[in-house]
Structure 1
Amino acid sequence: METTLHSYFTAVLITTFLFFLFYVRRRRCHHLNLPPTIPGFLPIIGHLHLLRRQPNQPLHRTLAFLSSTYGPILLLRFGSRPVLTVSSTSAVEECLTTNDIIFANRPLLISTKYLAFNSSIIGTAPYGPHWRNLRRIATIELLSTSRINSLARIRANEIRSLVHSLFSTATDQWNRAEMKTILKKLSFNSMMRMVVGEKYSEERFCIMIEEALKLSVSSCVEDFVPWVSWLGLVGTKRRLMRLGKEMDERFQNMVDERRRRRAVEEKALIDVMLALQQEEPQRYSDEIIKGMLWVLIAAGTDTSSGTMEWALSLLLNHPKTLQNAREEIDFHVGHDRLITDSDLPHLHYLQNIIKETLRLYPAGPLLLPHQSSTDCTVEGYNIASGTMLLINVYAIQRDPKLWKEAESFKPERFDEGEGSEGFQFFPFGSGRRKCPGEVMANRMMGLTLGALVQCFEWERVGEEMVDLTEGEGLSLPKLVPLELKYKPREVMMNVLSQL
């Protein structure tokens, strides 16, 4: 009885205190020029309940709807966190240009604490000397054009393996294939060979990466309502802790094993980092190397495979565009060899297809969240320090005021200059926190999509158009995995039979 009364008294005290804070905050906010908000605010949870009004609706679509209704700049409350959502080019330019340093920070989240080595990896680390060192390693040592060129043979081998696998299981008639699994396997194997020098066929490792990617975007209630941890509502947190421990052990084993086997013929990105560690052990710790491995493998696998699945889906729904791409490849590459890295600069239409796919289905529809480090203003509105920033790339890249026939798939629009001004097209982000892997991703996607178009005929499995419903996830996956029909092209049989 005494315990029950004590718990009741504690709950009342906490609730009273929270309402008091809410009242004080509201009084203070009246003196500031704050961005517009939306109706439906509730104490403690803020606007969180409004984000699930439509079941299975991805967050970027919900925020796009709210922006179209209430304005392109909105200040929401996700529990205790103020969240600024922007979906106009002028606001994005002010955030990522004028206030670039202020918004160069990342929010500290439960998922990044346990799955990103205590938020120390390049994508989640706070802005400062540590992050600048990570950025330098990524851009100069690992993802420079010369380094990417040096890995061309690995990419070519993996593309040949993919094409050979499809060809060897094909008949003269149409054959069915589920492309989500095929493309994910290709991307995973390619990244593993480029990053650590070998494929990892162990099923648990693949499952671990998949689980980590899913949990990375799972909302942990404690991120927005911290005091729920007192109530023991920490199921997601426990999963994150368990998975984070396993990831740390596995990546450490990977580093230790590679360190013992340095005298290998094919140098991978991990060897570059281990060589740097020998020269400057304090600057290149095992923690930094493990974090880089995780980022390269996860981001390189998920974003590339997802975008290629979207691209194939769009091409199947637009057979004329598919034919145009094939004619371009036939003209520049021919039928006597497979497409290579060196062909890509000449295949402008193929590059436009990838751009248009990324416009409609950006791999990060809200980018990674930013956070303000000091008070600032955006479009004349006062933004407090510690405000999370969500940039709705998805909404901007489909804005009918910026794009002709914004919802249509038209790769040729980029030849006409669309998307070239300001912040109209930026699927890899912009500013200091722009994704450093853009060149690597475009190279892998162009080579893969080009080889598939060059070597095979593709059709939908039925008369119905391919379902383009979006799922939920870090890289905007298709809700329904792509299944299609294919058969080898007659003009490529000589090349295919020699793979």
Structure 2
Amino acid sequence: MEVTLFINLPLFLSFYFLAKNFVRKLQNLPPSPFPTLPLLGHLHLLKKSIHRTLSKLSDRYGPVFLLRFGSRRVLLVASPSAAEECFTQNDIVFANRPRLLVGKHRGYNFTSMAWASYGDHWRNLRRIASLELLFSHRLRILSHIRVKEIQSLIHRLYKDSTVIPDQAVNMKSAFFKLTFNVMTRMIAGKRYYGEGVENSEEAKRFQEIVSETGQLGAEKNVGDFFPFVRWFGIKGSEKKLIDLHEKRDKFMQDLIEQHRSNESGFGGGERKRTMIEILLSLHDTEPEYYTDENIRSLLLVRYLYFCFSF
């Protein structure tokens, strides 16, 4: 029995790798590193300094090659001309988002603009963001927010330098807070970093959510690459994703309710309207589409964009 097993195992592995290579050629797939291990795929090839590892693989297998991370296929494009072809001639082919756990739990089950599949719903969300929230005229109207926040940052840096001369300044942190203050004032008319918010419970909630989002964004969701681990229940990163989404969702809903109870808004008038007020006015005309969930998802896309930009 032991001898038979010893003989059959190499035969099975040989047949497996030959069959995989044959199927890949039939499907006209790009070249792929050998071997592709069962379950793991090419994860065994990833070392620290991933960009260097991928660069070496590109030198060996060409500017376009296929990797498999667990159960997921990953196309690596290392050529500017090939990348241009992907996003011009074949843009619709590559338009859909991967079905990752983060899209399920943060993207309202893949319905937010960042995670929705290419189609009518995604195009409508993009239209709303482009024409109602981020078009050039509105950004010019809100330019005073950017000016005031930059002035506030310069004033704070100058004040700190007079108290402790020659003290090193973490400019990444300073620009992080500046950018978030600009964004949150445009979205909700509020700022959550710097002077005047030290004792604000709402600011503390926001800062905790941003911190947790950044920490969780650096973690890998094993279930994205090995779906079978989810058979054992929701654990680890997925549970954290669910808890964080509930916190963010509750925070955004509280802001929406605050705006509903204060119809005059922050400053009043068309020129001073926040993004929440704009979306609530659209809700009055099309309540069946501009639901609170859709409003929250549009606003959270802006928050998440800045969370992962730093």
Is 1:159 aligned to 2:150, yes or no? yes
CA distance in 1, matches of 2:113, 2:56: 31
Helix, strand or coil: the match of 2:168? strand
Is 1:149 aligned to 2:155, yes or no? no
Q: Which has the higher contact order (CA 8 A, sep 6+)?
A: 1
Q: Identify the match of residue 284 of structure 2 among 266, 274, 278.
A: 278
Higher helix proportion: 2
CA distance in 2, matches of 1:224, 1:23: 24
Helix, strand or coil: the match of 1:189? helix
Is 1:44 aligned to 2:39, yes or no? yes
Contact 1:111-1:216 within 8 A present in 2 as well: no
Matched residue pairs, number?
282
Counterpart in the other structure of 1:209 = 210
1:452-467 aligned at under 5 Å gives the runs none
For residue 49 of structure 1, report the CA deviation from its aligned partner. Answer: 2.4
Contact 2:210-2:307 within 8 A present in 1 as well: no
The change in CA–CA distance for 1:65 and 1:20 in structure 2 (over 3 A counts) is closer
1:155-194 aligned at under 5 Å gives the runs 155-171=146-162, 173-194=165-186
Counterpart in the other structure of 2:81 = 90
Is 1:67 aligned to 2:73, yes or no? no
The change in CA–CA distance for 1:237 and 1:161 in structure 2 (over 3 A counts) is same
Q: Identify the match of residue 108 of structure 1 among 99, 102, 105.
A: 99
Q: Could you list the per-position Cα deviations for residues 128-177 of structure 1 after superposition, in whole angstroms to 9, with x for gaps in the alignment?
A: 11101110011111111111101101111111110111112223953321
The change in CA–CA distance for 1:31 and 1:298 in structure 2 (over 3 A counts) is closer
1:433-452 aligned at under 5 Å gives the runs none
Paired residue type of 1:28 = V
CA distance in 2, matches of 1:250, 1:263: 21
Query: How much identity, in percent, do the aligned residues show?
Result: 41
Contact 1:111-1:215 within 8 A present in 2 as well: no
For residue 233 of structure 1, report the CA deviation from its aligned partner. Answer: 7.6
Contact 2:43-2:69 within 8 A present in 1 as well: yes
Contact 1:81-1:224 within 8 A present in 2 as well: yes
Counterpart in the other structure of 2:225 = 224
For residue 179 of structure 1, report the CA deviation from its aligned partner. Answer: 1.7
Helix, strand or coil: the match of 1:103? coil
For residue 60 of structure 1, report the CA deviation from its aligned partner. Answer: 4.2
1:457-496 aligned at under 5 Å gives the runs none
1:72-471 aligned at under 5 Å gives the runs 72-171=63-162, 173-200=165-192, 201=197, 202-216=203-217, 218-232=219-233, 234-264=235-265, 265=267, 266-300=272-306, 302-303=308-309, 306=310
Helix, strand or coil: the match of 1:187? helix
Counterpart in the other structure of 1:400 = none
CA distance in 2, matches of 1:247, 1:199: 17
Is 1:28 aligned to 2:19, yes or no? no
Unaligned runs of 5+ in 2: 1-13, 198-202
Q: CA RMSD in A?
A: 2.4
Helix, strand or coil: the match of 1:175? coil
Paired residue type of 1:149 = R
Contact 2:213-2:307 within 8 A present in 1 as well: no
The change in CA–CA distance for 1:269 and 1:210 in structure 2 (over 3 A counts) is same
Contact 1:213-1:298 within 8 A present in 2 as well: no
Helix, strand or coil: the match of 1:259? helix
TM-score (normalizing by structure 2): 0.83
Off by >6 Å, runs of 4+ in structure 1? 19-24
Contact 2:214-2:307 within 8 A present in 1 as well: no
The change in CA–CA distance for 1:241 and 1:302 in structure 2 (over 3 A counts) is closer
TM-score (normalizing by structure 1): 0.53
Contact 1:184-1:302 within 8 A present in 2 as well: no
Paired residue type of 1:166 = L
CA distance in 1, matches of 2:225, 2:153: 44
Helix, strand or coil: the match of 1:77? strand
CA distance in 2, matches of 1:225, 1:287: 30
Paired residue type of 2:41 = G
For residue 123 of structure 1, report the CA deviation from its aligned partner. Answer: 1.6
Comparing 123-132 and 34-43, the one that deviates more: 34-43
The change in CA–CA distance for 1:154 and 1:26 in structure 2 (over 3 A counts) is same
For residue 66 of structure 1, report the CA deviation from its aligned partner. Answer: 2.4
